[in-house]
């Protein structure tokens, strides 16, 4: 087991290293930098701009800048923000926590809803429940995530029952304690709902397809012929047999949820990584953009690593591999 996990962990580290190189190459291909507009300001001398670029290492070749950034990663800074004049990690740490506040509940809820519905659709394959779920998932898949977020925002605006954006109201921040917690949870309802609606159709369709294939297998037919109860047949036998592709899908669903979360955060004004990366991109705050991208890749790597752990536990063929 240790060898298997170390191999997977090593692959994740190599992937992150490769992605960081690609990010720096793409960033260097973009014309200009954070201090480009400063050159157009007559109140700022060219010598001052040159000194600032030299201070942040922007006058160095790409390999030098990259290894300088690696040293900052080793010290836990992830580079330095030009706009905020502070380490990127200190800037992004609260934003990462806010993003996880949306993505983790949405991930759990999506799978908790999709698995039983997919099992039901596969069990009633061709019936009205299956057709209804298929039509509903197809409709939701056709709707852009941006449209879902805007629709939910309009609902909050016209109904007046939900907060229109943000993470907390001013009165809750002043009150603190349980009032602040309850207010935060209430602000989470709509963005988490959008994330669940956006991720649910694809997970449901994969669960339905995997379960339908397993239910046609000979051992499941034999168990059904021996009078095994449907609930036991689905939960103990069919779901376990269909677990492998679903576990692999779990890691991908983390990446999909994260990308959707960044968009939803921008629309509803949630103070997560989404608004930060938009601001940093428009302002050419290079290391903040790279930091957000690397955090996204770390979340994906963690999701895939958890999926590998679940596969190792669920599939005995992996445990006997040399």
Q: Domain ranges in the chain?
A: 94-319
pTM of the model: 0.83
Cα–Cα distance, 289 to 6 (Å, whole number):
29
Cα–Cα distance, 63 to 103 (Å, whole number):
35
pLDDT score recorded for residue 320: 54
End-to-end alpha carbon distance in the chain: 11
pLDDT score recorded for residue 315: 63
pLDDT (tens digit, 0 to 9) for every residue of the chain, 322 residues total? Answer: 677 667 777 877 888 888 888 888 887 777 777 777 777 677 777 788 788 788 777 778 888 888 888 888 888 888 888 888 888 888 888 999 999 999 999 999 999 998 889 888 888 888 888 889 888 888 888 888 888 888 888 888 887 777 877 788 777 777 777 788 888 888 888 899 999 998 888 889 888 888 888 888 777 777 777 777 777 777 777 777 777 778 778 877 887 888 888 888 888 888 888 888 888 888 888 888 888 888 888 888 888 777 777 777 666 666 555 5
Residue 81 forms beta bridges with which residues?
Answer: 86
Query: Do 141 and 202 touch, CB atoms closer than 8 A?
Result: yes
Core vs surface per residue 53-89: b (16+ CB within 10 A) or e: beebeeeeeeeebbeebeebeeeebbbbbbeeeebbb
pLDDT score recorded for residue 317: 60
> DSSP secondary-structure letter at 217?
S
Instruction: Kindly list the distances between the CA atom of residue 221 and the CA atoms of 30, 110, 236, 266, 296, in Å, as whole numbers in the listed order.
Output: 59, 29, 14, 49, 43
Vertex 103 angle, CA 107 and 209, to 5°: 30
Cα–Cα distance, 208 to 226 (Å, whole number):
24
> Residue 125: left if φ>0, alpha if ψ -120 to 50, beta else—which one?
beta
> May I ask the CATH architecture of the domain 94-319?
Orthogonal Bundle (1.10)
pLDDT score recorded for residue 78: 83
What is the H or E stretch that residue 87 is in? strand 86-87
pLDDT score recorded for residue 294: 85
pLDDT score recorded for residue 4: 66
């Amino acid at each position: 087991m240790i060898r298997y996990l170390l191999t997977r962990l090593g692959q994740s580290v190599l992937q992150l290293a490769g992605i960081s190189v690609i990010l720096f190459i793409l960033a260097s291909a973009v014309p200009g930098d954070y201090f480009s507009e400063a050159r157009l300001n007559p109140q700022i001398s060219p010598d001052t701009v040159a000194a600032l670029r030299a201070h942040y290492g922007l006058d160095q070749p790409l390999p030098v800048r990259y290894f300088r950034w690696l040293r900052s990663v080793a010290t836990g800074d992830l580079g330095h923000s030009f706009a905020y004049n502070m380490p990127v990690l200190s800037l992004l740490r609260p934003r990462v926590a806010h993003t996880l506040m949306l993505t983790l509940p949405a991930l759990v809820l999506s799978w908790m809803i999709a698995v039983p519905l997919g099992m039901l659709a596969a069990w009633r394959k061709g019936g009205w429940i299956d057709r209804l779920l298929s039509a509903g998932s197809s409709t939701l898949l056709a709707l852009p995530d941006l449209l879902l977020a805007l629709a939910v925002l309009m609902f909050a605006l016209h109904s007046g029952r939900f907060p229109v954006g943000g993470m907390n109201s001013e009165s809750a921040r002043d009150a603190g304690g349980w009032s602040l917690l309850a207010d935060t949870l209430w602000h989470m309802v709509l963005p988490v709902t959008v994330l669940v609606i956006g991720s649910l159709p694809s997970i449901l369709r994969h669960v339905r397809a995997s379960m339908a294939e397993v239910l046609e297998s000979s051992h499941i037919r034999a168990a059904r012929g021996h009078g095994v109860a449907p609930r036991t047949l689905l939960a103990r036998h069919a779901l376990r047999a269909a677990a492998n592709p679903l576990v692999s899908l779990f890691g991908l669903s983390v990446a999909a949820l994260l990308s959707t979360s960044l968009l939803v955060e921008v629309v509803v004004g949630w103070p997560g990584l989404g608004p930060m990366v938009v601001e940093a991109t428009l302002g050419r705050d290079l290391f903040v953009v790279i930091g957000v991208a690397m955090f996204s890749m770390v979340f994906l790597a963690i999701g895939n690593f958890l999926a590998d752990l679940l596969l190792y536990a669920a599939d005995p063929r992996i445990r006997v591999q040399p």
